[in-house]
Amino acid sequence: MQIPYTVQLRSDTGLFNAKLGVWLFLASEVMLFGALFSSYVLLRVGADHWPHGWEELNIPLATLNTVVLISSSVTMVMSWASLKMSNFKKYKLYMGLTILCALIFLVVKAFEYGHKFEIGHYPSYNTFLAIYFTLTGLHGLHVIGGIVLNTYLWGPGSYMWKTEPERFTNRVEVAGLYWHFVDLVWIFLFPVLYLL
Amino acid sequence: MDQLVATAPHDVGAHAHHEELGFWRKYIFSIDHKIIGLQYGISALLFLFFGFTLMMLMRWQLAHPNYPIPAMYFIVPIAVIGIVILLVSKFKPSLSMLVGLLFLGVAALVSYLTSGEDRMPGGIMLPEFYNQLGAMHGTIMVFLGVVPLAVGAFGNYVVPLQIGAPDMAFPKLNAASYWSYFVGGVVMLVSFFVPGGAANSGWTSYSPLANTATTGQTFWLIGMVFLITSSLLGSVNFITTIIQLRAKGMTFMRLPFFVWAQFVTSFLLLLAFPPLEAAGILQLMDRLAGTSFFLPSGLVVAGQPLQVSGGGHPILWQHLFWFLAHPEVYVLILPAMGILGEVIANNTRKPLWGYKSLVYAVIFLGFMSFIVWAHHMFLTGMGTVISAFFQTTTMIISIPSVIILTALIISLWGGSIRFTTPMLFALAFLPMFGIGGLTGLPLGLAPTDIHLHDTYYVIGHFHYVVAPGSLFALFAGIYYWYPKVTGRKMSDVMGKIHFWGSFVSINIVFLPMFIQGFAGVSRRLSDGAQQYAHAQSVLPWNEVMSIGAWVLGVFQIVFIFNFFWSLRRGETVNENPWQATTLEWSAAPTPPPHGNFIKVPEVYRGPYEYSVPGKSRDYTPQNEAD
Beta bridge partners, B216, equal B198
DSSP B610: B
Asked if the model's pLDDT at residue B603 lies above 60, the reply is: yes
Average pLDDT, stretch A72-100?
97
Of B170, B279, B308, the CB nearest to A17: B170
Mind listing the pLDDT tens digit for each residue in B271-281?
999 999 999 99
Average pLDDT, stretch B512-536?
94
Reduced to 3 states (helix: H, G, I; strand: E, B; else coil), residue B44 is helix
- The reported pLDDT for the residue numbered B5 is 39
- The reported pLDDT for the residue numbered B20 is 64
Of B271, B282, B311, the CB nearest to A47: B311
Mind listing the pLDDT tens digit for each residue in B299-332?
998 899 988 888 899 999 999 999 999 999 999 9
**A112, part of any domain:** yes
**What percent of chain A clears pLDDT 70, i.e. is strictly above it?**
100
CA distance A129 to chain B (A): 9
Which chain B residues touch A if contact means CB-CB below 8 Å? Answer: 14, 165-167, 169-171, 173, 232, 235-237, 239-240, 243-245, 270-275, 277-279, 281-282, 285, 289-293, 308-309, 311-313, 316, 319-320, 323, 594-595
Asked if the model's pLDDT at residue B82 lies above 70, the reply is: yes
For A:56-115, CB contacts with B below 8 A are none
- The reported pLDDT for the residue numbered B19 is 55
Average pLDDT, stretch B367-380?
95
Q: How many CB atoms lie within 10 A of CB A46?
A: 15
**A118, part of any domain:** yes
Choose between B306 and B145: higher pLDDT: B145
Asked if the model's pLDDT at residue B420 lies above 60, the reply is: yes
Of A29, A33, A130, the CB nearest to B291: A130
Q: Any CB–CB contact under 8 A between A122 and chain B?
A: yes
Contacts of A164 (CB under 8 A, 6+ apart): A7
Among residues B321, B336, B277, B329, which one has the least CA distance to residue B151? B336
CA distance A85 to chain B (A): 28
CB B343 within 8 A of CB B258: no
Task: State which residue of chain B sits closest to A39, comparing Cα positions.
Answer: B316
d(CA B516, CA B523): 10
Average pLDDT, stretch B230-237?
97
User: For an interface test with A, which of B221, B243, B598 has the most A Cβ atoms less than 10 Å from its Cβ?
Assistant: B243
**A160, part of any domain:** yes
Domains and CATH numbers, chain B: 3-7+23-69+114-293+312-334+455-586 (1.20.210.10)
Asked if the model's pLDDT at residue B585 lies above 70, the reply is: yes
Average pLDDT, stretch B115-133?
94
Contact B14 A134 (CB under 8 A): no
**A173, part of any domain:** yes
- Band of the pLDDT at B15, cuts 50, 70, 90? very low
**A9, part of any domain:** no
d(CA B414, CA B416): 7
Q: Any CB–CB contact under 8 A between A24 and chain B?
A: yes
Task: State which residue of chain B sits closest to A23, comparing Cα positions.
Answer: B236
Q: Any CB–CB contact under 8 A between A125 and chain B?
A: yes
Q: From residue B569, how far is each of B4, B488, B510, B561 by CA, in Å?
A: 14, 8, 35, 12
Mean pLDDT over all residues of chain B? 93
**CATH number, position A177:** 1.20.120.80
Q: Any CB–CB contact under 8 A between A134 and chain B?
A: yes
DSSP B123: G
Average pLDDT, stretch B153-167?
97
First to last CA, chain B: 38
Domain residues for A69? 17-44+61-195
Contact A130 B285 (CB under 8 A): yes
Q: Any CB–CB contact under 8 A between A8 and chain B?
A: no
Task: State which residue of chain A sits closest to B309, comparing Cα positions.
Answer: A126
**A1, part of any domain:** no
The rounded radius of gyration (Å) of the Cα atoms in chain B is: 24
Reduced to 3 states (helix: H, G, I; strand: E, B; else coil), residue B299 is coil
CA distance A3 to chain B (A): 7
Asked if the model's pLDDT at residue B81 lies above 70, the reply is: yes
Exposed / middle / buried, residue A159 (Cβ in 10 Å: 0-12, 13-18, 19+): exposed
Contacts of B12 (CB under 8 A, 6+ apart): B589, B593, B598
Asked if the model's pLDDT at residue B10 lies above 50, the reply is: no
**What percent of chain B clears pLDDT 70, i.e. is strictly above it?**
97
Task: Kindly compute the dihedral angle of the four CA atoms of residues A173, A179, A184, A190, in this order, to the nearest 10 degrees.
Answer: -160
Beta bridge partners, B248, equal B602
CB A18 within 8 A of CB B173: no
Contact B277 A25 (CB under 8 A): no
Mind listing the pLDDT tens digit for each residue in B537-562?
999 999 999 999 999 999 999 999 99
Of A21, A28, A123, the CB nearest to B290: A123
Average pLDDT, stretch A40-50?
93
Asked if the model's pLDDT at residue A73 lies above 80, the reply is: yes
Lowest mean pLDDT among B157-161, B486-490, B500-504, B614-618: B614-618
A-to-B residue pairs, Cβ atoms closer than 8 angstroms: 129
Residues of B in contact with A36 (CB under 8 A): 278, 281-282
User: For an interface test with A, which of B172, B240, B265, B285 has the most A Cβ atoms less than 10 Å from its Cβ?
Assistant: B240
Average pLDDT, stretch A128-153?
97
**A97, part of any domain:** yes
Q: How many domains does chain A divide into?
A: 1
Mind listing the pLDDT tens digit for each residue in B590-602?
999 999 999 999 9
CB B2 within 8 A of CB B96: yes
- The reported pLDDT for the residue numbered B486 is 95
- The reported pLDDT for the residue numbered B13 is 39
**A6, part of any domain:** no
Asked if the model's pLDDT at residue B515 lies above 60, the reply is: yes
CA distance A190 to chain B (A): 19
Contact B240 A20 (CB under 8 A): yes
Mind listing the pLDDT tens digit for each residue in B431-469?
999 999 999 999 999 999 999 999 999 999 999 999 999
CA distance B488 to chain A (A): 26
CA distance B293 to chain A (A): 7
Average pLDDT, stretch A37-62?
93
Contact B271 A34 (CB under 8 A): no
d(CA B481, CA B465): 23
